[in-house]
Structure 1
Amino acid sequence: MKSAIYMLILINVAVYADRARKDICGGKKQYQFINETKTYADAELYCQQQWRNANGHLGSILNKEENKHILDSVNITIRNNFPYVWIGAVRLMESKTFIWIDGCTSNYSNWRSGQPDNINKHGTEACAEMYTVKDTETTYPGQWNDNFCGHKRAFICQHF
């Protein structure tokens, strides 16, 4: 399963690497909260299929405003029924580096303190999720966590 996820990620990055970043990363993104749970790979595939002609992917978050917009959209829609949602950041192979699955780059991040840590009893934590509710005394809505890609989560798609 881990190999299949990495291959999906690498294929996506390779396909979009040659496209103009200005069109994809600098354009006006639209986000769509998907109120069903899927593994990370299935969520990414869903986004690609639903918005095939509009560069559909799991949502990349390139600044604080996008992070807040996504969090607000999720909380208005679900009223805290899902404490976590998949976002489009993935661990680059076995490194500590996370990249956006659509190939965009940004210096912005909003990791929970101590994250990403790659600690999970289920295996490698290679996929990123956003907390949508206050989970513990040190976890706040809008913060990110790395987690096992095989968990099922609601998710955020983006398209242009």
Structure 2
Amino acid sequence: MSPEMNLMLFVLGTCISSATSKQFIFVNEAKTFDEAQIYCRRFHCDLASVQDTADFSSLQAAVSGITTPDAWIGLKRAEPNWLWSLSDSAFYKEGETEYRRWRAGQLDNAGGNENCCTVDGGGEFWDVSCYSRYPFICYDGNENALQRYVFVDQNKNWKDAQTFCRQNHTDLVSVRNLDENLRVQVLVPPGALVFIGLFKDTFRWSDNSSSSFRRWSVREPNDSGACVAQRLSDINTWVDQNCNDTRPFVCQDGEKVQILRVKLKSGQNVNDPVMKVFIKEKIQEKLVSLGMPKDAKLQWRVQSDGEIFHLLENDMNSWK
């Protein structure tokens, strides 16, 4: 007898590209940000997203020699989202970018500007102002590094700490899992708070990728607008602009994929291995009926706690 279950699917379109296949295309047509996004999604994959320095170099190459002042890329202001400073997607396993261990009562955004994160000696996270000054921990990913986690006993604001880590090591430390949390917390002096690489970002990529890579010009973003353009005429940095302004833009090509968000109602434990197989089969049947190829592969996204589904607080019989 099949388990009773109500299933709702929420489908988000996105694009993925390997390091060898991602291509940027400069389009010399003046359009608003929304018009440029529609064009890129119709004829390519999406507006350009930048995951790391390699992507940024490819983007620079695509616009090399262009004399127009600037061009839209796929970054736009959105609801705040917590991201790690180190944006290399290859650095994180499935679910590791979402690892959090907030102290009870934190995420209170006291003063309305607590957009950076510290860790205490117990490994718990605190949201604090980015302009506060704390010591910090760097991560060093170089092959010849004497130590991976480097405590720096200098009080700096978050941005200056990030700059120091990037110049002398790799970046501010990411805490990807419980093991790394334990490694980091032993470096924190008793009673102290120490900056780590987690920060609240107010911009989101058009293709829904979670990269925290940014290349802002000096004193940017300055609230000139909600959409982002890359300067082409001077130093290839980024500025925020009015989304209704018209300018050329950069698209990207890549493999289109679908991300599914699933909401279930069931009286059974949907994290049970047998139930997960059953649910995946039902999702496959539903998507095939909507036109998905029968040989398309489905893969669960594992959360930072190792589970697939989480119980909704406002509905004890709902999982997502």
Q: Which of residues 221, 240, 253 is equivalent to 1:116? A: 221
Q: 1:61·1:67 contact (CA, 8 Å) conserved in 2?
A: yes
| Structure with the higher fraction of residues in strand conformation | 2
Residue 47 (structure 1) aligned to one of 40, 45, 68: 40
> Within the alignment, does 1:129 sit opposite 2:121 as a pair?
no
Query: Once superposed, which parts of structure 1, at least 4 consecutive aligned residues long, lie more than 6 Å away?
Result: none
Q: In the aligned structure 2, how far is the partner of 1:147 from the partner of 1:94? A: 18
**2:209 aligned with 1:104:** yes
Query: What does 1:85-104 correspond to in 2, within 5 Å?
Result: 85-93=71-79, 97-104=202-209
| Deviation per residue, 1:122-151 (Å, 9 max, x gap) | xxx1100000112xxxxxx22101110011
* Residues 16-62 of structure 1: per-residue CA shift (max 9 Å, x gap): 3xx6xxx71556311111011100000000011113xxxx1110011
- Mind listing any 5+ residue stretches in structure 1 that lack a counterpart? 1-13, 120-124, 135-140
- Letter aligned with residue 211 of structure 2: S
DSSP 3-state at the match of 1:32: strand
- 1:7 is matched with none
Amino acid at match of 2:210: T
Select 1:61's aligned residue among 50, 57, 61: 50
Q: Distance in 2 between matches of 1:68 and 1:46?
A: 23
In the aligned structure 1, how far is the partner of 2:222 from the partner of 2:80? Answer: 12
How many angstroms does 1:72 deviate by? Answer: 2.2
In 2, Cα distance between equivalents of 1:66 and 1:108: 10
Which deviates further from its counterpart, 99-108 or 37-46? 99-108
Is 2:241 the counterpart of 1:147? yes
**1:150 alignment partner AA:** N
Q: Does 1:24 align with 2:21?
A: no
The amino acid of 1:118's aligned partner reads D
Q: CA deviation at 1:112?
A: 0.8
What is aligned with 1:38?
A: 31
- Conserved in 1, the CA contact under 8 Å of 2:79 and 2:203? no
Percent identical pairs in the alignment equals: 29
1:40/1:152 contact within 8 Å kept? yes
Q: CA deviation at 1:67?
A: 1.4
- CA distance in structure 2 between the partners assigned to 1:57 and 1:156 by the alignment: 9
TM-score w.r.t. the length of structure 1 is: 0.70
Aligned to 2:12: 15
CA contact (8 A) 1:84 1:131 kept: yes
Contact 1:68 1:142 in 2 (8 A): no
* Structure 2 unaligned regions, length at least 5: 1-10, 82-200, 255-320
Post-superposition offset of 1:107: 2.7
* Contact persistence 1:29–1:159 (CA under 8 A): yes
Show the counterpart of 1:74.
Answer: 63
Would the aligned equivalents of 1:25 and 1:104 in 2 still touch at CA under 8 Å? no
| Whole-angstrom distance in 1 between the partners of 2:237 and 2:54 | 13
Q: Deviation per CA, 1:63-112: give whole Å up to 9, x if none.
A: 12211221222124x3x1x1101000000058960011101112321011
Cα 1:150–1:112 change in 2 (3 A) is: same
Higher helix share: 1
Give the number of equivalent residue pairs: 124
TM-score, normalised relative to structure 2: 0.36
Q: Which secondary structure does the structure 2 equivalent of 1:92 belong to?
A: strand
- Secondary structure of the 2:12 match is helix
Q: Which has the larger radius of gyration?
A: 2
